[in-house]
Structure 1
Amino acid sequence: MEQIILDPTYQPIDYDSVDITSWHRVHFIGIGGAGMSVLAEMLLEQGITVTGSDAHRNAKTDRLESLGATIFEGQSASNVDGASIVVYSSAIKPDNPEIVHAVEQGILLMHRSDILAALMAQKKSITVAGAHGKTTTSAMIAQICTSAGKAELGDPSFAIGGSIHTPEGLKDGGHAGKGEIFVAEADESDGSFIKYHPYIAVITNVEPDHLDHYGDAQAFTQAFVRHAQNATGHVVACADDEGALSVIRSLNDEERKQAIVYTTNPELTMKFAQVVYIQTDNRSTFDGGQDFSIRWLERYGTDMIHAHIRVPGMHNVRNATAALIATLLVGIKPDEAARALDDFRGAARRFDIKGIVDDVTVVDDYAHHPTEVAALMEAARVRYPDERIRVLFQPHLFSRTHYFAQEFAKALSLADEAIVTGIYPAREFQKDWPDVTADTIPQAARETGIEISIRAIDDMNEAAQYLSKTAQPHDVIFTVGAGSITNMADVIVEQLSARKA
């Protein structure tokens, strides 16, 4: 058999003409992952037979099984027998037994992005791309459409890589709605987002990441330019981010006429593109959130749109502004959109308060890039100006840790104390990065003269135990990272409760 090549940027079908309801059975490899489980749930909601495999069962596979999916624990060739389509993510390797058997049987292979593109082609889609803020901004847009959308603007479909906190409780990140709006994260990590043709493309920021795929920063930025050019209606971008601004400046004059940028800089002007100005005092409100206002001269003249969010940080003010602009563009009224935004309680694992025990607060967050960690720490200082901020950080990927060690050290220096655990490898292997360890970031801190305590404890359970034992009233302990570190938030809460007892 010829060598199998899995290219996430390859388009195997015509998204506009495909009849999804004709799919006999769709099998997902790695169905328990955040990006895959959302799509599987959406297909189940459309009445399609779904099967899937994963190395281990988890809460997501249990939920999918309760909705009618067949779940296989472990991956083997026989799992794909009878499937009409086999779906893989970029974490799946060509020698995976289910991939090999699917090729041998002539079963159509589709990357997860192909499923998402086919689902979006049925609707008026809004995508959110960027190195940071995708999940929160997507969730805000979905919340506004759900709460304020009427008729075809209500009951949106959404595919978001995380659960959403709402007034009704925690909701899963996938839903096949009856309305015309589809909100989706556009994952830039593997280049597959260039296949999407959304009505509105939101770009929160463009900061080089995933260089293991792109090779250099120029290729990374160019992929965003191509994504922006694929938008059929509008591009919405953050002008406070130099990378996103460079994408807009790379568009031709006609393309820029469809662009709207948002900024905290009152002096910014752009040729052809519209500018939305943000005003805020960046102070925490009674509920730990923030008030802000936006001014969109071209659309609303000098009238200000006033809004409130219940999640802290300037980065979230910018995310909320992007969400407001996108929902106003599809026709939701400003006052109703702002009111609906106030219902947003945050996305799971985004400044997610897990418990308060004896005046010690434990917060879990997904931040896994230096800019995200810095934004998290800045938001923490706004919400908890007088408390001691302590961070338990698990780096995500050996490559990212290697390339951004100094930047991580600088971001973590905004805390009062930081502990770095062993690295969560995801798709990478330690043997390929033998010199990258838990001490890589603390060593960078020492070399750059950072004075606050940043040290390594490889075992995250040991680190969690240390933080619990040494916690004092008014401490705020953050578990931070995109991997298994999230489990330590509950561990710390349990240990604090046991200490109290």
Structure 2
Amino acid sequence: MNLTSIHSVYLIGIGGIGMSALARWFKQNGYAVGGYDKTPSDLTHALEAEGMWVHYADNVQEIPEAFKKKDSSLIIYTPAIPAEHVELNFFRDNQYQLYKRSQVLGFLTKELKTIGIAGTHGKTTTSSMAAHIMFESGQPCSAFLGGITQNYGTNLLIGNHEDGAGWVVAEADEYDRSFLQLSPDIAVINNMDPDHLDIYSDVQSFYDSFNEYLKKLKPEGIVIRRVDVDVQIPSQASKAVTFGESVEADYRIQNVVVEDGGVTFSIDHDFLRWNNIRIEMPGMHNVMNATAAFLACYYAGVSVDSIKQSLRTFGGVKRRFEYIYKNNQLVYVDDYAHHPTELEALLKAVRMVFPGKKIATIFQPHLYTRTRDFMNEFAQSLALTDELLLMDIYPARELPIEGITSEVLLDLIPSKNKQVVRKENVLQELEKLNFDVVVTAGAGDIDRFIQPIKLLCEKRYGRGN
């Protein structure tokens, strides 16, 4: 890949969270940037406001000529784009410089010291925490994130990397084996629950990919993993450490106290104890995320005091336990959870913060294959809510699978207060329920209901705090 001759960059799937971060990087570095996405969204509107050209029809004729100049155009696509996509095939058939998002990210980060955050769950929160710590401590750092940070209002942070100085924080995404394009100096693995079995042939192939990721570690690199993550430490690693609640962990999480919607905890290591670590986010999963970010930044050279201070000011990520509405009578939380383990962590965190409150959950399953592969696990996780409105499966890139429906999933959930709702009936059915906390969860287009549900909350109880 040679960027010296490139003047314009066209992204197919520009509205995706990872793609939009690349779009912003190229725009901020002086390139003309445009792209296609299937539907308008807040993110595509933001990109347009930042000076990028976006359109929503799969039509080569609508693409401006500036992006069709073969010798000076770079085309980037996400693997979530269907194989029959007209624009993608136009660029492919005409042999443009065409790369996957992960290949471009690997190219942009290969010369910089990299913290790669891997794991089925928590990549975005952990990466955002680590990036915030680095920025707050004054470290030169850039970050490509899978969510919009509350502190900075963006998914891209660009630091000063003169003479190759500083770090880059990047999510090491297992989807489509994208993380195999990265070469981290510090490789973090937060957890390893099977997912994306439409991409991997079986569960063992999924696990094997994490070992392949660790083989990409740079010489003298460091591996940081949760204590129950079973991986092979590569020979080039200079250090490999574990963290978790177990006494077998090198860095042990202790003294966890939930208070005022956040968590305070300690980390023990040999004869050291780091006390009064505070995050303003609930749930043990976020304690794990914070510990992973803590250790990544510690081994990157940030002082313990700076890390602790920065974690206290971390504001979270949009759609990760995000408070949309809150007062003494009603709370509305939105979350991206779309895997049964994430759903369980989310609903347990809600219980942790609001004990004894009645919880109503609106969940939109994401992908037919994921619903099929984890049908029983989804049923058990969704049983943790008091009231359930289950939306139809969001297909994303997939066609329906016979026998895999929300109705089938609903029958497996061991709860009484449950129903399948169509999109057009979500608000109507929610208004009928009695609850103290309402939760929306999913990775499809359920986010389009956030503002209407917020307005419903305000209609009941006035403006939130």
> What TM-score does the superposition give when structure 2 sets the normalisation length?
0.92
- Residues 128 and 201 in structure 1, CA contact (< 8 A), matched pair in contact too: yes
**Which digits, 9 at most, give the CA deviation of each residue in 1:297-320, with x for residues without a partner?**
3xxx42425310000000000000
Aligned to 1:272: none
- Tell me: CA distance 1:492–1:66, structure 2 relative to 1, closer, same or farther (3 Å): closer
Aligned to 1:200: 186
Contact 1:422 1:437 in 2 (8 A): yes
Question: d(CA) in 2 for partners of 1:256 and 1:158?
Answer: 23
Shift of 1:147: 0.8
2:154 corresponds to:
172
The equivalent of 1:265 in structure 2 is 246
Contact residue 21 and residue 47 of structure 1 kept, 8 A:
no
Question: Identity of counterpart residues, as a percentage?
Answer: 35
Superposition deviation, residue 139 in structure 1 = 0.6
Q: Provide the rounded CA distance (Å) in 1 between the counterparts of 2:284 and 2:134.
A: 23
1:191 is paired with a residue of what secondary structure? helix
AA at the equivalent of 2:254: Q
1:492 is aligned to 2:456: no
Deviations 1:420-441, CA, capped at 9 Å, x for gaps: 11011111112xx021112122
CA drift of 1:452 comes to: 4.5
Q: For residues 122 and 21 of structure 1, do their structure 2 counterparts lie closer, same or farther at Cα, with a shift above 3 Å needed?
A: farther
Q: 1:10 — aligned with what?
A: none
How does 1:24-63 map onto structure 2 within 5 Å?
24-63=7-46
Q: 1:438 to 1:492 in 2, by over 3 A?
A: same
Contact kept? 2:82, 2:397, Cα under 8 Å: no
**SS of structure 2 residue aligned to 1:291:** strand
SS in 2 for 1:234: strand
Rounded Cα–Cα distance in structure 1 between residues aligned with 2:240 and 2:275: 20
C-alpha displacement at 1:34, in angstroms? 1.2
Residue in 2 aligned with 1:238? Answer: 226
Whether the 8 Å contact between 1:396 and 1:481 is mirrored in structure 2 is: yes
**Partner residue of 2:259?**
285
Q: What one-letter code is carried by the residue in structure 1 that aligns with 2:197?
A: L
Deviation at 1:257, TM superposition (A): 5.1
Cross-structure match for 1:355: 325
Q: Which residue of 2 aligns with 1:328?
A: 298
Q: CA contact under 8 A between 1:141 and 1:326: conserved in structure 2?
A: yes
Correspondence 1:276 to 2:261: no
Indicate conservation of the 8 Å contact 2:133/2:310, yes or no: yes
> What whole-Å deviation, never above 9, does each CA across 1:151-196 have from its counterpart, x for those lacking one?
xx23x21111111112xxx511112221421111111111121121
Q: CA deviation at 1:490?
A: 2.1
TM-score, normalized by length of structure 1? Answer: 0.86
Give the number of aligned pairs. Answer: 450
Q: Report the equivalent of 1:400.
A: 370
Look up the SS of the partner of 1:465 in the other structure. Answer: helix
Post-superposition Cα deviations, 1:91-114, rounded to whole Å, max 9, x if no partner, equal 113332222221333211100001
Equivalent residues of 1:30, 1:54 under 8 A apart: yes
The residue aligned with 2:120 is 131
* Distance in 1, Cα, partners of 2:52 & 2:173: 25
**Conservation of the 8 A alpha-carbon contact between 2:233 and 2:240:** no
Could you report, residue by residue, the CA deviation over 1:265-319 in whole angstroms, capped at 9, with x for unpaired residues?
12x16xxxxx1111133x4212x0000111233xxx4242531000000000000
Query: Does the 8 Å CA contact 1:412/1:454 hold for their aligned counterparts?
Result: no
2:418 equivalent in structure 1: 454
* 1:491–1:471 Cα change, 3 Å: farther
CA contact (8 A) 1:77 1:100 kept: no
Task: Give 1:369's aligned amino acid.
Answer: H
Deviation at 1:358, TM superposition (A): 7.0
Aligned to 1:69: 52
- Pair 1:452–1:126, CA change in 2 (3 A): farther
Q: Give the deviation of 1:412 after TM superposition.
A: 1.1
**Cα offsets for 1:65-124 (capped at 9, x unmatched):** 232322233122242512522111111133322222213332111000011111112321
In 2, Cα distance between the equivalents of 1:35 and 1:65? 16
Tell me, in whole angstroms, the C-alpha distance in 2 between the residues paired with 1:305 and 1:440. 48
Displacement of 1:55 in angstroms is: 2.6
Shifted more, 412-421 versus 204-213: the winner is 412-421
Cα pair 1:54 1:73 within 8 Å, conserved? yes
- 1:122, 1:47 → 2: CA distance? 20
Alpha-carbon distance between aligned partners in 1 of 2:18 and 2:431, rounded to the nearest angstrom: 33
Secondary structure of the corresponding residue to residue 423 of structure 1: coil
2: CA distance, partners of 1:125 / 1:76: 38
| Residue among 386, 400, 403 paired with 2:356 | 386
Deviations 1:392-451 (A, max 9, x none): 110000111111111111111112122211011111112xx0211121221122xxxx24
- 1:87 aligns to 2:72 (yes or no): no
Secondary structure (helix, strand or coil) at the match of 1:385 reads coil
Q: Distance in 2 between matches of 1:402 and 1:209?
A: 11
C-alpha distance in 2 between matches for 1:451 and 1:32:
37
The one of 91, 100, 109 aligned to 1:111: 100
Is 1:436 aligned with 2:425?
no
Three-state SS of the structure 1 residue aligned to 2:258 is coil
1:109 aligned partner, one-letter code = L
| TM-aligned CA deviation for residue 251 of structure 1 | 2.7
Q: Distance in 1 between matches of 2:415 and 2:12?
A: 46
Preserved CA contact (<8 Å) 2:59 2:86: yes
Structure 2 counterpart SS, 1:47: coil
Amino acid at match of 1:229: K
Q: Give unpaired runs (5+ residues) of structure 2.
A: none
Secondary structure class of the residue paired with 1:226: helix
Q: C-alpha distance in 1, partners of 2:419/2:42?
A: 33
1:380 and 1:339 map into 2 onto residues whose CA distance is 25
Opposite residue 341 of structure 2, the aligned amino acid is T
Q: Which runs of 5+ in 1 are unaligned?
A: 1-12, 270-274
